[in-house]
Amino acid sequence: MVRENVCVFSEPVMHDLDYASCFMKQLAEEARRAGVVTVVETDGTASANDAALETYDPAVFYSVGHGQCCIHTVECMEPYIEAAGYHCEIEWQGEKYTYDCVTDRRLDFWVGRHVHLLSCVTGLNLGPELIRHGARSFIGYDHFFLIGWYFTDEEIKPPAPCEPPDEYGDMYTAIDSDVEGERAIVLRGASVGEAVAAMKAKFQEYIQKYTEGEWKDRLIAYWARTCLEHDLEHLVAYGDMDWRPCSAAAAPPPSPIPLFLLFVPFGFLVLSLTKPPAKI
């Protein structure tokens, strides 16, 4: 049976995926410090993911990888989740990118789970297929996910993973906006719908900075804003938006404060006592 408050993060690093895995590792560490939700990290290989799913039976599977409309790949571009029978044809900047899915892979692994794929185009057909096969909720993108943009020459090097944006590059804000969804779920006990709203708000926050805020005059501003606007437009979610996969992380409602009257020789003293929140 799916275990709420347990998550598996698939964190490959090849083919520029370390830009996203870096954020996921930070979130996993925050969750460990909070001590409420269990986050299991894998190296993003198919075998490690399978083992983690079998061992921990998590409510949340969060994975970064390359993809198309019907397939999600993991470390070294290994196909991991696939729905057969789809012909993908995605246009970008005047070019068409096509892919044919011919094999069903792991469609039934996600029954009762929340699946979040930081992966190009998987929200178009793969996400709905996972819902049809029993996944409880899905977050992804129905077009290419644009990680970011940077200028480079002999003197300007590409940004490092998790390096904040500057004048010449931003490989940070789009990923940070995506990860905000799982921050909301894992650290704050948000529902899936609230997580999507948190992602949208984070995208909008960065777009505003590049449009009229403190970053509007940076050389990178136009391209960074274009990436963020594109990703926000193509963010999709399906399934049970009211579900809280990590409900233990939610702040408990205030407990009633019992008042006890203690009579003493010179009158009475009011003692306010509160119960500590339950911990799991």
Q: How far is CA 246 from CA 4, 182, 190, 265, in A?
A: 6, 10, 7, 50
Position 60 pLDDT exceeds 70: yes
Per-residue confidence band for 255, with pLDDT thresholds at 50, 70 and 90: low
Round to whole Å and give the CA distance between 168 and 152: 8
Q: What is the pLDDT of residue 156?
A: 81
pLDDT, position 178 = 98
Please state the length of the chain: 280
**Do 141 and 236 meet the contact criterion of CB atoms below 8 Å apart?**
yes
Q: Which of 187, 186, 172 is nearest to 231 (CA)?
A: 172
Looking at residue 279, its pLDDT comes to: 26
Cα 248–Cα 240–Cα 41 angle in degrees, nearest 5: 50
218-234 mean pLDDT = 97
> What's the pLDDT score for residue 273?
28
Q: Which of 159, 150, 153, 138 is nearest to 236 (CA)?
A: 138
DSSP state of 248: G
User: For position 252, what pLDDT does the model report?
Assistant: 63
Model-wide pTM > 0.75: yes
Please say whether the beta carbons of 29 and 84 come within 8 A.
no
**Section 198-205 average pLDDT:** 98
Query: Cα separation of 262 and 270, whole Å?
Result: 7
Tell how many helices (H) and how many strands (E) occur in the chain.
6, 15
Q: Per-residue pLDDT tens for 124-178? A: 999 999 999 999 999 999 999 999 999 988 778 889 999 999 999 999 999 999 9
Which residues are within 8 A (CB) of 79 and not within 5 positions of it... i.e. 6 or more apart?
A: 71, 72, 73, 103, 105
Distance CA 147, CA 119 (A): 10
String of DSSP letters for 2-28:
-EEEEEEEE---TTTTHHHHHHHHHHH
- CA–CA dist 181, 177 (Å, integer): 7
Provide φ and ψ at 269, rounded to 5°. -120, 130
